[in-house]
Amino acid sequence: MIRIQLSHERLAGARFAVSPLLQLVPALLAVRSGRETPAWVRRGWAGLSRSSRSTLEHLVDPAARTVPDFLMPYPTSGSADVAAELASVRATPSEVVRRQLSTVVQVGEVSPEFARARGVTRERAAAWRRPATEADRRAYAGSPELVTHPAADALEEAWGLILRDRWQAIHATLSADVMHRASQAASQGMERAVCDVLTVTERTGDSAAMATSLHVDGEMLDGELVLAPSVFFDRGHYGFVTGPRLGDLLLGYPSRGRGEALGQAPVREPAAAGLWGLLPPSRRSVLQALSEPRSGQGLASLLGLSPATVSHHLTRLRRDGLVESFRVGKQVIYRRSDASASLDDGAAD
């Protein structure tokens, strides 16, 4: 069971985000734990170089009951790209590496907070850890790059072999989930949206409990709450990542439409000019108007279209991976995705 604090203040500041590495690391955990995974995930894992496989086997170990949080950077915006997240892994501060590395390998001592959050003694938590390597010991002593750089390199190789060709389809699924949650929050309140996402089974004051095989007591974490969907979490399966600031928490949850996303064939980018020519003129206008991020209402006013028409075009563009969205307060902002950049040449033809 996971128990977290859900005060009104925390719910008011909660937000949803999309994280690429929150897809990759759970996929690696699924493969390593022997859980059923798509064949293309297993093929990608089997294709890793020996050094990358060794690095990931060491840090992403189901027997440790956790992975270092720095492998899944805390999202600072609504939608991060994998390059930015890999850069965050490489730049993890020494004190963060020191604290999180000690939860999975035998360096230093397991903190009382970690053991208490897992509902076990420090001795029990320490027994889950793997033997430390020389790089682990030197990273713990003050050279974090000896762990973070090889980890980021291994994750980058795994991304290329497992998720890169499928990211457009998966990203569309995740974005659709976030949009659904944002719409629910707007119409029914953030508390209802968050409780639905987390399948809360019990509320006692500011404390909420979720039915899951993972045991974590997160009531002491009272900072920002970020919720991020993942296609590699099944019902009742969550990810629990602490943020760089004391009390901040990222909770990964099962995405809507995850089964369809995992079963889709890889998406190959068509020629830019050809795809641009296939877009209806009104949809091209919406895409061109997103030369800078705008709200749906802002687009409607700019283009002289009804909000319903703009919403329809944005839904289709988001499904095609050409537009992504993020929240700013209560407002949903749209912007062109990285994939749409290749259309600029086609637009000029």
What digits encode the pLDDT tens for the residues 201-257? 777 766 766 666 555 555 566 678 888 999 998 776 777 777 767 678 788 888 988
Q: Average pLDDT of the chain?
A: 81
The distance of Cα 331 from the centroid of its chain, to the nearest Å, equals 21
Rounded alpha-carbon distances, angstroms, from residue 186 to 12, 151, 180, 249, 307: 12, 39, 10, 22, 16
236 or 147, which is more confident? 147
pLDDT value at 121 more than 50: yes
Band of pLDDT at residue 124, cut at 50, 70 and 90: confident
The pLDDT score that the predictor gives to residue 208 is 66
User: Looking at residues 168-178, what average pLDDT do you find?
Assistant: 86
pLDDT value at 346 more than 60: no
Indicate the CATH number for domain 272-348: 1.10.10.10
Amino acid symbol at 181? R
339-345 long-range CB contacts below 8 Å, 24 or more apart?
339/168, 339/269, 340/287, 342/269, 342/272, 343/272, 343/275, 343/276, 343/287, 344/272, 345/272, 345/273
Domain regions of the chain by residue span:
17-168, 272-348
The distance of Cα 81 from the centroid of its chain, to the nearest Å, equals 10
User: For helices 281-289 and 307-319, what crossing angle results, to 10°?
Assistant: 90
In angstroms, the CA 123 to CA 315 distance is 51
166 or 203, which is more confident? 166
In angstroms, the CA 64 to CA 80 distance is 27
Predicted TM-score (pTM) of the model is 0.71
The percentage of the chain sitting over the pLDDT mark of 70, rounded to a whole number, equals 81
Beta strands at 216-218 and 15-16: parallel, antiparallel or unpaired: unpaired
Candidate from 3-7, 19-23, 174-178, 195-199 with smallest mean pLDDT = 3-7
Environment class of 325 (CB within 10 Å of its CB; exposed 0-12, middle 13-18, buried 19+): buried
Residues 102 and 94: beta-carbon distance below 8 Å: no
Q: Which of 231, 270, 278 is nearest to 254 (CA)?
A: 231
Handedness of CA 228, 233, 234, 236 (dihedral sign): negative
CB-based contacts of 300, cutoff 8 Å, min separation 6 = 306, 307, 309, 310
Residues 190 and 15: beta-carbon distance below 8 Å: no
269 or 294, which is more confident? 294
pLDDT value at 200 more than 90: no
In angstroms, the CA 45 to CA 37 distance is 11
217 or 146, which is more confident? 146
- DSSP conformation letters of 4-73: EE--HHHHHT-EE-B-SHHHHHHHHHHHHHT----HHHHHHHHTS-HHHHHHHHHHS-GGGT---GGGSP
87 or 12, which is more confident? 87
The pLDDT score that the predictor gives to residue 273 is 43
Q: What is the CB neighbour count within 10 angstroms for residue 345?
A: 12
Q: Which tokens go with 279? A: 């877009």
Q: Which of 217, 179, 206 is nearest to 331 (CA)?
A: 179
Per-residue b or e along 95-126, where b marks 16 or more CB atoms closer than 10 Å to that residue's CB: ebbbbbbbbbbbbbebeeebbebbebeeeebb
